[in-house]
Amino acid sequence: MSEAVDSMTDFSAPTMIEGTAHVVAVEGNMAWLVPETGSSCGGCASASACGSKGIGTAASRLEARRFQLVNDAGLRVGERVVVGIRENTLVRASLTAYAIPLATLLSAGALAQWAAGSDTITMVAMLAGLALGLGLARLGAGRLLVRGELAPRFIRRASPGETCNS
């Protein structure tokens, strides 16, 4: 029988979102890593077996998400590691990338509809709002990057058999 939930467990304490990645290159003091895909649905689990590097395949998508880490732990090519980001970082990044453009898009559309009442003018205004929002999102993302919030952190070396889903 598993243990009961500890009533003193602090659900509000910040935690890391962990994921596994493997080292594909080491250049001086920096290591390049590629994330390993988890199975958020059956399609991804089968796609992870795909070894081809064609455009749009799971393998090429993961390759496009290569990231760098400072190699303080002396990682070697082929090693699997567990990396993490703070849990509120993902929320903040999502809001920056998607909420800001959506807010400007809808505001511009509402304003155009109120002022002109024409579908075509509203459409053009929304596209302009989207473009403005993307520019603001770029500025916001730059600020997050400067604060170091977007970079994954090295947590530990992955044990054999450890995956994103374990």
Partner 1 sequence: MKEYVLLMISAALVNNVILARFLGLCSFMGVTTRIDTAVGMGMATTFVITVSSMADWAVEAYLLQPYGLGYLRTVTFILIIAATVQFTEMIVKKVSPPLFQMLGIYLPLITTNCAVLGVALLLVEGKMNFIGATLFAFASSIGYSLVMVIFAGLRERLALADTPRLFAGPPIGFIVASLLALAFMGFSGMSTS
Q: What is the DSSP letter of 165?
A: T
E-only strand ranges, 28-70: 30-35, 67-70
- Cα-Cα-Cα-Cα torsion 33, 44, 96, 14, nearest 10 degrees, comes to -70
Binding mask 30-49 for partner 1 (x = CB under 8 A): -----x-x-xxx-xx-----
Smallest separation (angstroms) from partner 1 to the CB of 157: 21
* Residue 25 in contact with partner 1, rule: CB under 8 A: no
Q: Is 4 helix (H, G, I), strand (E, B) or coil?
A: coil
What is d(CA 145, CA 48) in angstroms, rounded to the nearest whole number? 29
Q: Does 153 bind partner 1 (CB under 8 A)?
A: no
The answer to whether residue 101 forms part of the interface with partner 1 (CB under 8 A) is yes
Q: Rule CB under 8 A: is residue 129 a binding residue for partner 1? A: no
Contact status: 105 vs partner 1 (CB under 8 A):
yes
Q: Which stretch binds partner 1 (CB under 8 A): 24-32, 71-79, 139-147, 155-163?
A: 139-147
